[in-house]
Amino acid sequence: YVSTNLSYRKCRNFRKMKHFLISLFLIILFSCETSSPQDVLEMEIMDIYDTIKESFLVGDLERIMQFYHTDFQHDNDDYDGELTVWQLRRINHETIDFSDIEFGVYDNFVEVSFTLHLDDESFVEPETFGDISFFYFTSQNEWKICGNYFDYLN
């Protein structure tokens, strides 16, 4: 009789443990956030904008230019011309910010629409300047600002 009682208790404890483990597994499974490729892409580009914002505030234009593709081409500006654009922005403005951000994804290109805030002025992008609205995903697996006339076959 004692042996049967012990077996029953072990079985009952096993069932409790099994239920506990299944419940724990389900809690972990449903509490994990899954990110879609679109979410990941948007987070990576948002990180670039955050770094641009921080770098602008401390005047680190070299850090900003690290996000540009060396073959950058936007309207009539190339990479060096874009550096001049940033130098002028820094001379004329103290703060930069981005809001109302939306993403248009086209394979390995992304066009970002947003409101650019330079001090107390606001500009709708990419319609106003557009120089920081176009991104290309490189063979080094990183997003680079490429401009609106970027030749990815080059």
Given this model, what pLDDT does residue 35 score?
Answer: 80
List the pLDDT tens digit at each of the 154 positions of the chain.
545 555 555 556 656 666 566 665 655 555 556 688 899 999 999 999 999 999 999 999 999 999 999 999 999 999 999 999 999 999 999 999 999 999 999 989 999 999 999 999 999 999 999 999 999 999 999 999 999 998 765 5
HSE-CB of 26 using CA atoms within 13 angstroms: 6
Given this model, what pLDDT does residue 127 score?
Answer: 96
Separation CA 29–CA 32 (nearest Å): 6
Given this model, what pLDDT does residue 7 score?
Answer: 57
> Whole-prediction pTM value?
0.77
Given this model, what pLDDT does residue 9 score?
Answer: 57
Given this model, what pLDDT does residue 22 score?
Answer: 66
- In total, the chain counts a number of residues equal to 154
